[in-house]
Chains A and B, each alone.
Chain A
Amino acid sequence: MAARNKAYDTMRREAVRPAKETAAGWHLPAAIPDPAEEVTEMVEPESVVRDDMLRLVFTCCHPALALDAQVALALRTLAGLDVAAIARVLMVPQATMAKRLVRARQKIAHARIPYRVPTDAELDPVLVRVTGRDCQARKGDL
């Protein structure tokens, strides 16, 4: 629990964002750091799975985030594309994309979307979301 609290403190910490993203979030109290940077700092000894990247995949694809936010967040934090590139690829204005990413990060922080791998019981519907297809047949491989 101490580790988790520390992680959330870290997430709430002020961080220097690229100017456009910061500007897009001006109306909210604090800029939220990039989950990709923050997750790697997190230590959760009670967790069996220590794969930060895997946890990040599940956070980016959490159902509490809109699909367009999931896609943008995955391209930003998992694929490492910058905002301009994501905006081009998804054919939306760069300011719109910056705003979408800021909102997604803020929702992760304020609504406390967890950084964790789902339990076995939760996994099936989650995998459909993460991979975009039904993974029932592949469950044994996990």
Chain B
Amino acid sequence: MALYAALLYYPEDSYWTSPEEEQFSAGYAEFGQAAGAAGVLRGGEALHPATMATTITVDGGKGGKVVTSDGPYAEAKEILGGFYVIEAADLDEATRWAAQPPAAWRGKVELRPVVPMSGGAAQS
């Protein structure tokens, strides 16, 4: 088994916390129940909008000046709205799950394989 981060991207004008998106919350509950019952859901969080983001970088290497800026790292039409951690046998199985939360048709879901860390739960 392998872990995948399913990153949920939303068009900024229909972010998941916007009122018109409320009708889709049942879809997330449904996905959470199905994926939870199947044992593939290993974690995940919903994120506040990108306008709430703070981006941090350190100037001049380790111990250098900490520079913070208001907003997300990359200004884009589509923004990261949350993520799930999915455990699946292969990319095809992970894809079937990633296609189910409403973000898949409201925006896009990016699947990123998680690097297994020795001693971590990700080892199969």
Residues 85-142 of A at the B interface (beta carbon under 8 Å): 110-114
Q: Chain A binding site: helix, strand, loop or mixed by DSSP?
A: loop
Q: Is A43 an interface residue (CB 8 A)?
A: no
Query: Which of B2, B91, B124 gathers the greatest number of chain A CB atoms within 10 Å?
Result: B91
B67 vs chain A, min Cβ distance (A): 27
B110 vs chain A, min Cβ distance (A): 12
Q: Chain B binding site: helix, strand, loop or mixed by DSSP?
A: mixed
Are the CB atoms of A113 and B90 closer together than 8 Å?
A: yes
Are the CB atoms of A5 and B91 closer together than 8 Å?
A: no
A36 vs chain B, min Cβ distance (A): 19
| Cβ–Cβ < 8 Å partners of B2 in chain A | 112
Are the CB atoms of A64 and B89 closer together than 8 Å?
A: no
Interface size class of A (residues with CB under 8 A): under 10
| Cβ–Cβ < 8 Å partners of B90 in chain A | 112-114
Q: Is B20 an interface residue (CB 8 A)?
A: no
Interface size class of B (residues with CB under 8 A): under 10
Are the CB atoms of A113 and B89 closer together than 8 Å?
A: no
Separation of A114 and B91 alpha carbons in the complex (Å)? 7
Q: Is A4 an interface residue (CB 8 A)?
A: yes
Q: Is B22 an interface residue (CB 8 A)?
A: no
Q: Is B11 an interface residue (CB 8 A)?
A: no
- 1/0 per residue, CB under 8 A from B, across A1-14: the answer is 00011000000000
Chain B residue nearest to A113 in the complex (CB) = B91
Residues 32-91 of A at the B interface (beta carbon under 8 Å): 62, 64
Separation of A4 and B90 alpha carbons in the complex (Å)? 10
Separation of A126 and B2 alpha carbons in the complex (Å)? 24
A-B contact pairs, 13 of them (CB 8 A): A5-B124, A62-B91, A64-B91, A64-B95, A110-B113, A111-B91, A111-B111, A111-B113, A112-B2, A112-B91, A114-B89, A114-B90, A114-B91
Chain A residues with CB under 8 Å of chain B are 4-5, 62, 64, 110-114
